[in-house]
Structure formats: structure tokens, C-alpha cells
Structure 1
Amino acid sequence: MNKAITDGVLLMPPAFGNGLDMWSSGNGTPGSDTYEGAVNAVLVPADQDFGGCLELQKTASVQKLRYMGETPLLPNCYLRVRARIKAVGGNLPAVRIAAWAGGAGGVHVDGVVEVGPTVAIATYGDVVEIAAIVGPGPRGGVDMVWGRQAIYGHFGLDLTGPNGGVVRIDDIEIKDVTSVFLRDMINVVDVRDFGAVGDGVTDDSAAFEAADDAAGGRHVLVPAGVYRLDESVTLNAPAIFDGTVKMPTNKMLILSKSFDLPSYIAAFGDEELAFRKAFQALLNNSDHESLDMCGRKVTVTAPIDMQAAVPNKTSYATRRVIRNGQLTAADGAVWNTPTITAQASYSANDPRKLTNVANIANIPVGALVEGKGVGREIYVRSKNVGAGEITLNAPLFDAEGTQNFKFTEFKYMLDFSGFSQLSQFSMSDIEFQCNKYCSGIRLAPSGLTFHLRDCFISRPKDRGITSIGTGCQGILIDRCQFLSSEDSLDVPDRTSLAININANDAKLRNNRATRFKHFALLGGANSVVLGNHFFQGDDVSAGVRTAGLIVASNYTNTTITGNYIDNCSIEWTNERDPSPDFSIGFSFGAMSITDNIMLCGDVAPWFAFIVVKPHGTGHYLNGVTISGNKFRSVNGIIDRVERVDTSFSDLDFARTKHLTFAANTFHNIGKQAFNPLRLRHREASASSTWAIGVNRELPFEGHLNGVDSVVAMGRISASGGAANFAMPYAETRKGAGKDEARLIWNQPVSGEVAVTVRMDS
């Protein structure tokens, strides 16, 4: 590039022969003395070495020669000032290129170098060439670095040394030599050409912005060095980083045309810091909806507080995505799991509060809460230190009064809990390598439709995904793998959990989870659990199994369909009910468990795939469908596939409504269950009352509450052998277990009937 050619910029000063009124003996500024009519300066029309030239006698300690015209110095331009000189008499002086730096408004730019290298003239008649390069940036070979403030110069030379000498000076030459410094003038704009220093101390923000403004479709080059940016900087041109930048946490670097993680790693030189700054830019940049990690691995040395990375945002609700990379935890004490035991009070009248909490200042938001009468996955959602109150993510079922609670703070690789609300945020194709050091993701206290897709959460220490509030509302988890760190442990020794959800409308689809204590806890309603494979077995003979899926709400309106439920159970509880005894409502209702593969192997015979666990009295089943499932036990027979856990209470089977338990298949199951249940009963001796038992084949060993049909399978004979055509009537809920019916005939009869009975009404 040559500005004199490309932009028509006038650089060359006029020849001396055009007159000395444009040549100053001072700084060259307006009003300074010229050599026109000076006694120590004369034009020489012909010289054997120079042709026309200026003959000048040195009469001052520094004899100045400056062109009075303002030679422009553009931000991305470098000029070479060149002169040839020879001594013709008197004392031999030294000579150097010199200039006066001018800024906007004609002011002098202080603090810049305004002289080039000094050359001594050794002999008379020898032609000495001097030169210096002036430009905005500190490049190698640049003698006078003027930065961005200098916009023009008065260029010339100085004679130094003893006075009295006479020299002849050829016409001074100024040329654009920018191409010497720029590697590719078509594609690159260098921030140093706009005044960037790169010393790690000087604020180079303005230089970056200026380079970007001048790029015009070219790349902005950040050469080797450390560039301090004290202000937020947006680069709209593609950026190339050979050097690195540093900036305050609350200032942003937005690489609009290079918005991917490798570019931020190149910019900051630290992949963990780069990830935080790229996330900061993602939430402050309307030009991009996603941050592409481009397959890069980021080593995470401490929990990443995602909100602290974006100090200007406490909530966010616009779709944003992080995709295509790996986060891997490095070992360190920072991941240790602290616990605090503190006394607090609880009342069912304010079911999400702990009051009078001791040592509350040291109890972290997001800590797991454990204690007597506390259900699973109860967390500190927020706290009010002044009031001594903690707000919980869910109620407790039986913790009335004052007791000691245990608070455990899991450490998460990505922690969004600093946001008050985060909605429409997505992560896809990310591997979270927790390496047994840390947990995976902690969600914000509130928000909608967090989406995790095609991700791996590998070997979390405690939790895969934790919700401490309602940031899981409408959560979508699709095609993800949750790989436990507890594979080698027997089931009773495991403590980890892949997912917990408190709010409604969760979608868990086509995921796979291995050997956690629990795959997922669903605390809300209207959930869809579809096509997942979760397994939790071990190698212990006749071993115990834990729940794979915990549904912690009695009226749940949930569908569990097409899953592979392997060596674990579905446990349905009301452990988040502050008044667990049934009074009003729908009780355990609106559950559909259909078309699942349910497999267990080498388990204790009392294991069951479906467990209902009421925490209070009076509860019943209301609108439950369990159909199309394939139940199978290998290496042993289990008693049945469904049961009630009566640790706290039993169900009220007299109130069962709308229960369908049909079209399932059973292999190696001791007692199969059906509702409605079809029976054959044969009465060999004539009797007017036939007792019809169900042989424990009603679901959950419930009560026989109804008889749908009685069909004679052949002759019904009276005691004399005559056919009896009368129909019996039925009485239900008979026997000690209320699981028998009585058929009452008009006379003693014998024969065989097909009876359809049911446990619901």
C-alpha cells in the first residue's frame, strides 16, 4: 500500500529550488523563521553529486531545517524521511532526521520521539545518507513512534556538533513505506498502527476500536504482546490474535465476526477465562444466538459462576446456546464438599421456610437440606440473613418444630444459580467430564425451558443436574448420557443422582443413565418421561435396588412411556406434601406407565418395579394406567411387579378409581396383576354362596370393589341335578383382606363361572 498512489496523499516536500520560504530554521510551524534571505543559506543550482541543492552553514548548537508544510501521518501509515548530505568546509558536524509532531488543532504532541539516529560526517566531500521512519505503532525499525494523537508532522533534519561547518543538502524525500511492515495489506489491519502499545499497562481500547473502524472488511491483527483493555471493545471485523488481551471482569470483548471459543482462547490465552468472557459476550451480543466451542476442551479448575461472568445481567430470557465442546474438571481442594449442621424451625403453615436458622450466614444458597421429615432433593433456594430465614425449593413432609438440619454444598462445574432467572438457555453436544471431582450443572432459581441436548455428563461426584427452585420449569433433556462415578459401588452405597426437577412440564426423552442411586426425581406435574434407558444394578446376589425414577407429587399428570427401566423401580410418593394426610384433592392420580421394558436380575424377591409410597393416611389411586409393559426377572423370581411401601402408611383401597392394569407381560413374576381381573371359579358341591378369591392378583394387592360380569361356563346345576337359570347377585370387599366377592344364588347350585372383578369404581 502507498497512500501517495492509492489515496493521492501529498507526502514529498518541494525541492529547495522552488524557494526557501517553505523551509524553516525553527519547528516549521506557522510563523516560524524561514531560510528565505538568510545569510547562512543559499541555493546551489548545480552540484556534481546532487544537482540543485541547499548550502547551509551551521550557526546554532542545533541547526534546524524543517518543511513548513503539514505532511499527513495517517493511522495505519508509516513514512520514511530520507536525506543526503556532504560537508564542504569548516568544522564537521553530525546530522539526523528530525521533525515536529502535530496533533488536532495544531497543538504539539508531547512525549513522542522527534529525532532519528545521529550520523557523524567524517570527511569532506563524502555523501552521507540519513533516514528515519515515523509511524503510529512500535514496530521494529520504526525510529519515531507517534501513536494516534499525531496527525501530521513538519519534517526535515538537524545539524549538531561544532558550529561553523558548511554542508550541502540534497532535496529531502518522504515516502510511504507501510508495506514494509504489513504482512498482507489487503487482508490485515494491525492494532499497533492505531496506537496500541501491548505492554500490559497502557489502555489500548481506543486503538482496537480505531483499527476495527478502519478495517473495512479486512482482518484486525493483534500482534505479539499483552494488550490492556480498560473499556468494553467490539470488533466487527474478523480478528487474528498473536498477542493476548486482559480486561476487567465487567468489561466485554465482543468478537462479532470471530465469535467462537477458539478465538476467545487466542484472545485471552487462558481457556477457562476465555470461556467466561465468551459467555459474557454471548449474553451481550445480539448478532449471535450461540457460542460454538468448535470441539475445544476447556479445563475447569474451579466452579464457574456463570452469572459472575456477566456482571451486568442478573436475569436473561432470550434464546442462547453453548455447543460442541468439552469441559473437564481438574483435581483440587476447591471441589471439596463442605457441610454445616445448624438448628432451625419449621412449620407446615409456611411450608417452604426454615426460620430462626442458626449460623445462617455460612449456609450457602443451593445447599442440600437433610433432616428428620425432609424429603429427597430439598435445597436452599434463597436466604434472608437479617431475618434468619431460608426459603426451600419444596415443602417438608414431617419436620414440625425445631431440629438440627444438615446443609451440604455440592460444587458444580457450571453454576447458574447466581441468576435470579434464566430462560430459553440451551447446551448441546457438550461433554461435562466431572471426573469424580465435581457435579455438573446447577440451574437458576427460576426460569423456563432450559434445554440440554446430546450432552454427556460423565462421572459427577454428587449430582448431574440440580434445580434449587423453578429454573427447571418446562426443562427439556434430550438424548443425553449420564454416566455415574459410582459404577463400582453396590447399590446401597451409592449417593449420586442424575437429575432433580421441582417444577412442571419436564421432558426427559431418549436419555441413558448408568448406576446412579437415582436417575431422576420429578417434583412437579405434567411431565413426559419417554424413551430413556436407566439402569442401577450391581453384582450382589439377591441384591437390593433403588428407585430409578422418583415421582414426588401425588397428583402428577405424568406419562412414563417407552423406557427401558433396568434393575430399578418407579417410586411414586407425596414426600413434598407439608400435610401428607389426605383431606381434599385427587390423591395419587393421573399417572400413565405404558409400554416400558422393565428388567431386573438377581434381586431380592420383594423387589418391585412400581412402588407407591404414601406419607400420610387416606390416600388412594385415582386415574392410573399401567399397560403394555414388559416385566421380566432373570436369575430369580420376584414376588410381584407392583407394591405399596407402607413405611409411613397404606393406601385406602376402598376409594380406588379408574385404575387400568392390563395388557402387560410377565416373566418370572410370582403373582401377576390385572385390573379388571378375569377369573374362573368352579363350585363342585352345591352351595347358595360362592366365595370368589383373587389369589393376590389385583394390583397392589388391593380390595375387590366391583364385579363387572358373571358368565356361566356350562350348566349351573341345582342339588337335584336340574339346570338353574337364575342369576346370582354379588357382594364385594369380603374376606380378611377385602379381596373376595360372594356370589349369592337363589338356591344351592354347583358349576363353573367366568367372573370379571375389579379393584376400582
Structure 2
Amino acid sequence: MNKAITDGVLFMPPAFESNLNVWSSGNGTSGSDTYQNAMNAAFVPSDQDFGGCLELQKTATTQKVRYMGQTPMLPGCYLQITVRIKAVSGALPSVRIAGYAAYGSGNNVPGLVEIGPEVALTNYGEVVELRAIVGTGARGGVDMVWGSDPVYGHFGLDLVGATGGIVRIDDIEIEDITGAYLRDMMDWVDVRDYGAIGDGVTDDSEAFAAANSAANGREVLVPDGTYHLANSVTFTTPVRFQGTITMPTDKYLTLNRNFHLPAYIEAFGNEELAFKKAFQSLLNNSDHESLDMGGRRITVTEPIDLREVVATKNSYAQRRVIRNGQFYVTGDTAWTPDTVTSQATYDSDDPRTLTNVVNVANVPVGARVSANGVGREIYVESKNISTQEIRLSQPLYDAEGTQNYTFTRFKYVLDFSGFDTISLFNISDVEFLCNSLASGILLATSGVAFHIRDCFFNRPKHRAITSPGSGCQGMLVDRCNFITAEGGTPAQDRISIAISTNANDVKVRNNRASQFRHFLIIGGMNAVVTGNHFFQGDGEDAGLRTAGVIMALSHISMTFDSNYVDNASLEWTNEYDATPDFGGGYSFSALSVTDNVFLSGDVAPWVAYLVIKPHGQGHYITGLTVTGNKFRSLHGSMDRVDRVDTSFADLDMSKGKHVLVEGNTFHAITTPCYNPLQIDYTQSSASNTWVIDTENKLPFGGQPRTVESLVPISKIETSGNTGVFSMPYARTGQGTANDELHLKWETAVKGEMSVRVRMD
């Protein structure tokens, strides 16, 4: 590049023969003294070495010669000043090339180097050639680094040392030698040409911004070095990093034209820091909606507090995506859960609040709460230090009064809990290699439509995905793979849980989960769980099986469809209900379990696939559909597929409605269940009362409460074989266990009857 050629910029000063009134004995600024008619200067028209030249007697300690013309200083340009000089007589001085750096106003730019290397003249008549380079950037061979502040310069030389000597000076040359540093045709600009120093201390923010502005679509080069940026910087042009940068935590780097994680890794030289700075930019810039990790594996040594990383926002509700990469967890103590034990008081009239919490300041938001009467997967949603209160993610079923609570804060690779709200966020095609050290993702305490798809959660220590509040409202988890490290642990001794939720409208679809304690906790209504395969078996003989899916509300309003339930069960509880005892409403209702595969092997015979566990008195079933399912047991039979866990209370089987259990298949199940239940009954001896036992085949030990039909399937006759054509009336809920149906006839009869009864 040569600006004199490409842009017609004039750098070369005039020859001395033209006029000495443009050559100053001062700094070259307007109004300074010139050598025109000076007593110590004269033009020599015919020197044997120089031709025309300036003869000058040194009369000052520093005798200056400066061209008064304004030589422009252009970003990216490098000028070489060349002087040929010889001593003629008198004291021998030293000589150096020098200049004056000027703002556009003409004032001097302070703090810059304005002299080149000093050379001593040692022999009379010996021609000495001096060169010095001035430019905007700290490039190799540049003697005077002026940065981007000077607009122009006055250039020449200084004679220093003893006075009295006479020298002759050839015409001074100023050339654009930028081509020595840059290709003649370049498609990039160098931040050093705009004043960047790269010493790791000097603030290079303005130089980076200037390079971006000058690039005009070309690539910006950040060469070797460490560049400190004290302020946020946005590049609207592509950037190539050979050196690295440092920034304060609350300042961000935005790479609009190459916004992807590999570029940030090149910029910061550290994968973990690079991800943080890229995420920071993702939420602080509107020019990109997704962070492509570029297939990179990021080593993570500590939990990533994403709110702390972003620094500028408490909430975010625009679509953003993290995709296509891998987090690899290493380290030890950084992933150890924090545990705090404090005394607190619970009042069911305020069912989601703990009051008078001792040492509340030390209780972390997002911690799991455990104590007597506390349901599974209850979390600290927020806290108020001044009032000593904690807001819980769900009510407690039996914790009235004051007691000690344990708060356990698991450590997550991606921790969103510092945000008040995160909505519309998407994590796609990302693998979390938790290495039995870390948990996966902790959501914000509120938000809508968080979407996790096509991700792998490999060996999370405690949890894969946790919602500590309502941040899972409308959450979607699609086509993810969850693998625990607890495969060799008996099912009942495992601690890991794949997904826990609290809010409504969750969709969990087409996932696979292997050998967790629980696959999914549903704490809200209107969930859709479809197409998943979760298996929780172990190598134990007659082993226990834990719940794969826990539904923690009585009125669940949920669809469970086309799943593969492998050595696990569905557990339906009301441990999140604010008042566990039934006091009105729908009780256990609105659950549809359709077209699923239930398979187990080597299990204890009393293990069941469908378990209802009431946490209070008076509950009954008011809406349950179980159709089209395939129930099977391998290597031993199961007693039945359904049961009521009476650890806290039983169901009231004298009530109930809208229960449909039909169209299912049962293999190696001793007692299948049906509602309606069809019984083909034979009365061998004549009797006025036929006692028909439902044989415990109504779901969950239900009572026969309704007779849908009575159809004789043989001749009804007296003991004398006389036909009887009248019909009986039915009494339901008979017998000591209320599980019998009695048919009452007007006379003693015998025969066969097909009876269709219901428990609702």
C-alpha cells in the first residue's frame, strides 16, 4: 500500500533549493522561526556528495530542522524519514531524526516518542545516512509509535551536542513504506495500526473500535499479544484472533459477523471463559439469536452462574439458543452441594412460605428442602432476608409448626436460577458430560416455554433438569437422552432424578432415560408425556422398583401416552396439594394412561405399575382412563398392575366416577383389572341370593357400585328345573370387604349369568 500512489497523498517535503522559508528552526508549527535569511544557514547549490544541500552551523544545544508542511498521519500508514548528512568543520555533533506530533488544532500530542535513534558524526566529509519510521501502530522497526491521536506531523532532524560545528544536509525524504508491513492488496486491517498496544495493561478498546470502523466489511486482525479492553466492544465486521483479550466481568465482546464459540475461544484463550463471554453477548445483543458452540467440547471446572455472567439483566424473554457442543465437567469441591440446616415455621394457611427462618441469609435459592412432612423435590424459590421468610416451590403436606429443615443446593453446569425470569430459551444438540460430579441445568424461578431438545445428559450426580419454581411453565423436553451413573445401584438406593417440574403445560416427548431413581416429577397440571422410554431395573432378585413418573397433584389433568415403562411405575400422589385431606374439588382426577408398554423382570410380586398414594383422608378417583396398555412381567409373575399405597391414607372406594380401564393386555399378571368388569357367574344350586365375588379385579381394589347389565347365558330354573323368566335386582358393595355383588331373586333359582359391573 502506498497512499502517495493510491490516493495522491503528498508526503515528500520540498528540496532545500526551493525555499528555506518552509524549514523551521523550531517545531515546524505556524509562526516559528525559519532558516530563510538566517545567519547560520545557507543553501549550497553544488556539493560533491549531495548536489544542492543545506549548510548549517550548530548554534544551539539542540539545533532543530523541521519541515513546516503538515505531513498527514493516516491510520495504517507507516512513514520512513531518511536524512543524509556529513560534518564539514568544527565540533562534531550527534544527529537524530525527529518530529512534532500535532492534533488537528496544531497543539502537540503529549506523551509520544518524537525522536529516532541518535548517531554520532565521527569523521569530516563522511556521509552518514539516518532512517527512522513513524506510524500509528507498534510494529517491528517503528521508532516513533504515535497511535491514532495525531492528525499530522512536522518532520526533520535534530543536531545535539557541542555547538559551533558546520554540517551539510541533503534533501530530507519522507516515504510511505506501509507495504513493508502489509500486502499490497489486503482484505483486513490490523488493530495495531489503530493504536492497539497488546501489552495486557493498556486499554485498547478505542483502537479496536477504530479498526472496526475502518474495516468497512473487511476482516479485522488481532495479532499476537494480550489486548486489554476496559469497555464493551462490538465488531460489525469479521475478526481473526491470533492474540487474546482480557476484559472486566461486566463488559462484553460482541462478534456480529462471526458469533460462534470457536471465535470466542480464540479471543479469550480459555474455553470456559469464552463460553461465559459468548453467553453474555448472546443476551446483550439483538443481532444474533443463537450461540453455536461449533461442536466444541468445553471443560467446565465450576458451576456457571449465568445471571452473574450476564451481569446486566435480571430477566430475559426473547428467543435465544445454545446449540451444538459439549460440556465436560472436571474438578472436585466446586461441585460439592452446599447444605444448610435451619429452624423454620410452617403454617398451612400460607402453604408456600416458611417463616422465622433462622440464618435465612445462608439458605441458597434453588436449594432442595427436606424435613418431616415435606414432599419430594420441593425447592427454595426465593427468600426475603429482612422478613426471614422463604418462598417454596410447592406446599408441604404435613409440616405444620416449627422444626428443623435441611436445604441442599446441588451444583449445576448451567445455572439460570439467578434470573427472575427466563422465557423462550432453547438448548439444542448439547451434551452434558457431568462425570458423576455435577448436575445439568437449573432453570430460573419463573418463565415460559424453556425448550431442551436433542441433548444428552451423561451421568449427572444428582439431577439432570431441575425447576426450582415456575420457570418450567410450558417447558418442552424433546428427544433427549438421560444416562445415570447408578446402574449398578439397587433401584431404591439411587439418588439421581432426570427431570423435576412445578408448573403447568409441560411437554416431555420421545426421551430415553436409564436407571435413575425417578425419570420425571410432575408438579403442575396439563402435562403431556408421550413416546418416552425410561428403565430403572437392577440386578436384584425379586427387586424393588421405583416410580419412573411421579404425579404430585391429585387433579393432574395429564396425558401419558405411547411410553415404554421399563421396570418402573407411575405414582400418583397429592403431596403438593395445599390441603392433603379432601375438602372439595376433584380429588384424584383427569389422568389418561393410554397405549403404553409396561414391562418388568425379576421383581417382587407385590410391585405394581400404577400406584395411587393419598397423603390425606377422604380421597377417591374422579377421572381415570387406562386403555390400550400392554402389561407384562418376565421371570416371575406380578400380583397385579395397580395398587393403593396406604402409607398415609386409603382411597374411599364408596365414591368415584369416570373410571375407564379396558382394552389392556396382561401377561404374567396374577390378577388383571377392569372397569367395567364382566363376570360370567354360575350358580350351581338354587338360591334366592346369588353372591358374586369381583375377585379383586376392579381397579385399585374398587367396590362394585354400578351394574351395567345382567344377561342370562343359560336357562334360569328352579331346583325342579322349571324355567323362571323374571329378573333379579342387584345389591352392590356387599360382603365384609364390600367387594361382592348380590343378585336377589323372587324365588330360589340356579343358572348362569353374565354380569357387567363398575366401580364408579
Say whether the 8 Å CA contact 1:449–1:475 is kept in structure 2: yes
- The amino acid across from 1:144 in the alignment is M
**Equivalent position of 1:23 in the other structure:** 23
- The amino acid across from 2:478 in the alignment is D
Structure 1 residue 179 corresponds to structure 2 residue 186 = no
**Residue-by-residue CA offset, 1:428-466 (whole Å, 9 max, x unaligned):** 111111111121111111111111111111111111111
3-state SS of 2:46 partner: coil
1:171-250 correspondence runs (5 A): 171-182=171-182, 186-250=186-250
3-state SS of 2:307 partner: coil
**Equivalent position of 2:83 in the other structure:** 83
Counterparts of 1:25 and 1:318 in 2: how far apart (Å)?
A: 65
Counterparts of 2:672 and 2:117 in 1: how far apart (Å)?
A: 101
**Equivalent position of 2:488 in the other structure:** 488
3-state SS of 1:213 partner: helix
Structure 1 residues 670, 184: closer, same or farther in 2, change over 3 A?
A: farther
TM-superposed CA distance for 1:33, in Å, is 1.0
1:364-403 correspondence runs (5 A): 364-403=364-403
Structure 1 residue 475 corresponds to structure 2 residue 475 = yes
**Equivalent position of 1:268 in the other structure:** 268
Say whether the 8 Å CA contact 1:728–1:744 is kept in structure 2: yes
Say whether the 8 Å CA contact 2:488–2:539 is kept in structure 1: no
Say whether the 8 Å CA contact 2:307–2:313 is kept in structure 1: yes
1:589-608 correspondence runs (5 A): 589-608=589-608
Say whether the 8 Å CA contact 2:517–2:546 is kept in structure 1: yes
- The amino acid across from 1:278 in the alignment is A
**Equivalent position of 1:154 in the other structure:** 154
**Residue-by-residue CA offset, 1:167-194 (whole Å, 9 max, x unaligned):** 3322211111112223575222111111
**Equivalent position of 1:665 in the other structure:** 665
Structure 1 residue 752 corresponds to structure 2 residue 752 = yes
TM-score (norm 1): 0.98
Say whether the 8 Å CA contact 1:182–1:188 is kept in structure 2: no
**Equivalent position of 1:526 in the other structure:** 526
**Residue-by-residue CA offset, 1:273-303 (whole Å, 9 max, x unaligned):** 1111111100011010001110111111111
Counterparts of 1:549 and 1:503 in 2: how far apart (Å)?
A: 15
Structure 1 residue 425 corresponds to structure 2 residue 425 = yes
- The amino acid across from 1:34 in the alignment is T
Counterparts of 1:232 and 1:111 in 2: how far apart (Å)?
A: 26
**What is the alpha-carbon root mean square deviation over aligned residues?**
1.4
Say whether the 8 Å CA contact 2:691–2:740 is kept in structure 1: yes
- The amino acid across from 1:431 in the alignment is E
- The amino acid across from 1:529 in the alignment is V
3-state SS of 2:410 partner: coil
**Equivalent position of 2:300 in the other structure:** 300
Unmatched 5+ stretches in structure 2: none
**Residue-by-residue CA offset, 1:609-654 (whole Å, 9 max, x unaligned):** 0100011111111121001111110011000001111111111112
Counterparts of 2:93 and 2:383 in 1: how far apart (Å)?
A: 81
Say whether the 8 Å CA contact 2:550–2:572 is kept in structure 1: yes
3-state SS of 2:308 partner: coil
Say whether the 8 Å CA contact 1:432–1:440 is kept in structure 2: yes
3-state SS of 1:654 partner: coil
- The amino acid across from 1:257 in the alignment is R
**Residue-by-residue CA offset, 1:726-749 (whole Å, 9 max, x unaligned):** 222222111222222122223222
Larger mean CA deviation between 496-505 and 714-723 belongs to 714-723
Counterparts of 2:299 and 2:185 in 1: how far apart (Å)?
A: 37
TM-superposed CA distance for 1:703, in Å, is 0.4
Say whether the 8 Å CA contact 1:611–1:642 is kept in structure 2: yes
**Equivalent position of 1:55 in the other structure:** 55
- The amino acid across from 1:17 in the alignment is E
Counterparts of 2:699 and 2:61 in 1: how far apart (Å)?
A: 113
Say whether the 8 Å CA contact 2:705–2:733 is kept in structure 1: yes
Larger mean CA deviation between 39-48 and 657-666 belongs to 39-48
TM-superposed CA distance for 1:723, in Å, is 2.4
TM-superposed CA distance for 1:87, in Å, is 3.1
Say whether the 8 Å CA contact 1:229–1:245 is kept in structure 2: yes
Identity of aligned residues (%): 60
3-state SS of 1:116 partner: strand
- The amino acid across from 2:556 in the alignment is T
3-state SS of 1:76 partner: coil
1:530-549 correspondence runs (5 A): 530-549=530-549
**Equivalent position of 1:318 in the other structure:** 318
Structure 1 residue 356 corresponds to structure 2 residue 352 = no
Larger mean CA deviation between 686-695 and 178-187 belongs to 178-187
- The amino acid across from 2:496 in the alignment is S
How many residues are matched?
760
Counterparts of 1:352 and 1:160 in 2: how far apart (Å)?
A: 85
3-state SS of 1:718 partner: coil
**Equivalent position of 1:416 in the other structure:** 416
Counterparts of 2:126 and 2:651 in 1: how far apart (Å)?
A: 115
Counterparts of 1:331 and 1:294 in 2: how far apart (Å)?
A: 24
Larger mean CA deviation between 182-191 and 582-591 belongs to 182-191
3-state SS of 2:26 partner: coil
1:252-291 correspondence runs (5 A): 252-291=252-291
**Equivalent position of 1:682 in the other structure:** 682
Larger mean CA deviation between 309-318 and 265-274 belongs to 265-274
- The amino acid across from 2:140 in the alignment is G
**Residue-by-residue CA offset, 1:90-135 (whole Å, 9 max, x unaligned):** 4433322111111131111121111111223343333322110001
3-state SS of 2:513 partner: strand
3-state SS of 2:254 partner: strand
**Equivalent position of 2:733 in the other structure:** 733
TM-superposed CA distance for 1:399, in Å, is 0.7
Counterparts of 2:371 and 2:88 in 1: how far apart (Å)?
A: 102
**Residue-by-residue CA offset, 1:340-380 (whole Å, 9 max, x unaligned):** 22211111100011111122222211111111111000111
Say whether the 8 Å CA contact 2:317–2:422 is kept in structure 1: yes
TM-superposed CA distance for 1:34, in Å, is 0.9
Counterparts of 2:328 and 2:354 in 1: how far apart (Å)?
A: 36
Counterparts of 1:99 and 1:170 in 2: how far apart (Å)?
A: 17
TM-superposed CA distance for 1:595, in Å, is 0.8
Moved over 6 A (4+): none
TM-score (norm 2): 0.98
Counterparts of 2:476 and 2:184 in 1: how far apart (Å)?
A: 48
Counterparts of 1:561 and 1:182 in 2: how far apart (Å)?
A: 66
Counterparts of 2:707 and 2:425 in 1: how far apart (Å)?
A: 53
**Equivalent position of 1:330 in the other structure:** 330
**Equivalent position of 1:610 in the other structure:** 610
Counterparts of 1:341 and 1:173 in 2: how far apart (Å)?
A: 81
**Equivalent position of 2:8 in the other structure:** 8
Counterparts of 1:614 and 1:314 in 2: how far apart (Å)?
A: 39
TM-superposed CA distance for 1:657, in Å, is 0.6
Structure 1 residue 73 corresponds to structure 2 residue 69 = no
**Equivalent position of 1:656 in the other structure:** 656
Say whether the 8 Å CA contact 1:104–1:149 is kept in structure 2: no
TM-superposed CA distance for 1:688, in Å, is 2.5
Say whether the 8 Å CA contact 2:212–2:220 is kept in structure 1: yes
- The amino acid across from 2:636 in the alignment is G
- The amino acid across from 1:582 in the alignment is F
- The amino acid across from 1:225 in the alignment is G
Structure 1 residue 33 corresponds to structure 2 residue 33 = yes
Say whether the 8 Å CA contact 1:568–1:609 is kept in structure 2: yes
**Residue-by-residue CA offset, 1:564-609 (whole Å, 9 max, x unaligned):** 1111100000011231111111110000011111111101000000
Unmatched 5+ stretches in structure 1: none
Structure 1 residue 576 corresponds to structure 2 residue 576 = yes
Counterparts of 1:148 and 1:625 in 2: how far apart (Å)?
A: 76
Larger mean CA deviation between 524-533 and 194-203 belongs to 194-203
TM-superposed CA distance for 1:476, in Å, is 0.6
TM-superposed CA distance for 1:526, in Å, is 0.2
Counterparts of 1:123 and 1:366 in 2: how far apart (Å)?
A: 83
TM-superposed CA distance for 1:725, in Å, is 2.1
Larger mean CA deviation between 732-741 and 342-351 belongs to 732-741
3-state SS of 2:132 partner: strand
**Equivalent position of 1:634 in the other structure:** 634
1:128-147 correspondence runs (5 A): 128-147=128-147
